[in-house]
Amino acid sequence: MDIQGLAKEVLASIGGAQNVVSDEICMTRLRLVLADVSKVDETRIDSLRGVLGTSRRGDSGLEIVFGPRTVERTFRAFESLRRQKPSAKGPDDEAVAQPAEKGVPAPAATHAIRHRAEPQDRMSESDVDTLKSLLGDIAGDAATEGPRLLVVNGPNLNMLGIREPSLYGSTTYSELVERCQRTARACGFVECRCYQSNHEGDLVDEIQRAWKTFDGIVLNPAAYTHTSVALLDALKAVAIPTVEVHITKVDEREDFRQVSYVREACFETIAGEGIEGYEHAIRDLARKVLR
């Protein structure tokens, strides 16, 4: 999707131009204040290529995280869409256009828009973490041609570094993302999207979205390994070469961890190599996909 398309999708997913009270850029985020946050479709926003995440801010704020290169261009496209007069819209704008609503402020006329980060917007530690993990996204952002890698992590893997360190180690999830992106780039992938969710359906959605978009998948389904036929079916449906990864030696753990539903749809399983297992999987996928 090009930047114009991305901006249109973002605008449509937040309830259209008349729902935007104000917008600004903060670091790699588009920071929005909305008239009615219930109109936000976060699942749709999260599914957009170029969007790395969303977070709520207070009662009416929403932040959408982009890669460092994407944010400025998306903001400019978003701004010009917001300011378009309804009469000027063409057929393509249908997805963005919304019927006018009573009591909702007109965005451009009544609200000042700040384009620059203010002093109080100095980077917090979490912004620094986000930026660090996103820097690896630059290559994928700029390059459009070439093999793309999707790394999917299931429930509780966002707690890496905190969660049972004697089993899972001290590496955090954002460090894992950084390492995957570095390895993927070194192996020749032009994009490495890292996705984590605690929800089975979201993981299924993400795998489905990979169809015709990604060339290889590294998947640690975590606890869903041992229960999810839905994940197995999603992998079979998209038929993308996939490596199953487990940080621990699942085969040597409890009986209930001895079953893996997804294994049938994966060409390899790597278990017990810690975080390095992801890098091993990326190298093996590169050999298979880039041949």
C-beta of 24: minimal distance to ligand DQA in Å? 38
Residue that the structure tokens 């790395």 belong to: 52
Which of 257, 255, 244, 241 has the alpha carbon at shortest distance from 290? Answer: 241
Catalytic residue, candidates 168, 195, 261, 278? 168
C-beta of 261: minimal distance to ligand DQA in Å? 12
Residue that the structure tokens 């850029």 belong to: 25
Residues within the interface to ligand DQA (CB under 6 A): 156, 220, 222-223, 225, 246-248, 250, 257
Angle formed by the axes of helices 125-135 and 68-83, to 10°?
100
C-beta of 162: minimal distance to ligand DQA in Å? 13
Our CB check for ligand DQA shows the closer of 32 and 247 to be 247
Our CB check for ligand DQA shows the closer of 16 and 154 to be 154
Distance, in Å, from the CA atom of 174 to the CA atom of 134, rounded to the nearest integer, reads 9
In this structure, the strands spanning 20-26 and 61-66 are: unpaired
Region of residue 190 (left: phi > 0; alpha: psi -120 to 50; beta: else): alpha
C-beta of 132: minimal distance to ligand DQA in Å? 23
Sign of the dihedral defined by the CA atoms of residues 43, 45, 50, 56, in that order: negative
Catalytic residue, candidates 173, 195, 246, 261? 246
Give the DSSP H or E segment for 140: helix 137-142
Tokens of 95: 């997805």
Our CB check for ligand DQA shows the closer of 75 and 168 to be 168
Distance, in Å, from the CA atom of 181 to the CA atom of 173, rounded to the nearest integer, reads 12
In this structure, the strands spanning 191-196 and 61-66 are: unpaired
In sequence order, what are the beta bridge partners of 132?
none
Our CB check for ligand DQA shows the closer of 33 and 223 to be 223
Distance, in Å, from the CA atom of 60 to the CA atom of 48, rounded to the nearest integer, reads 22
C-beta of 257: minimal distance to ligand DQA in Å? 4
Our CB check for ligand DQA shows the closer of 39 and 257 to be 257
Told to judge if 168 belongs to the known catalytic residues of this protein, a careful annotator would answer: yes
In sequence order, what are the beta bridge partners of 195?
152
Our CB check for ligand DQA shows the closer of 41 and 252 to be 252
C-beta of 228: minimal distance to ligand DQA in Å? 11
By beta carbon distance, the residue nearest ligand DQA is 222
Please, are residues 269 and 244 in contact by the beta-carbon 8 Å criterion? yes
Catalytic residue set: 168, 246
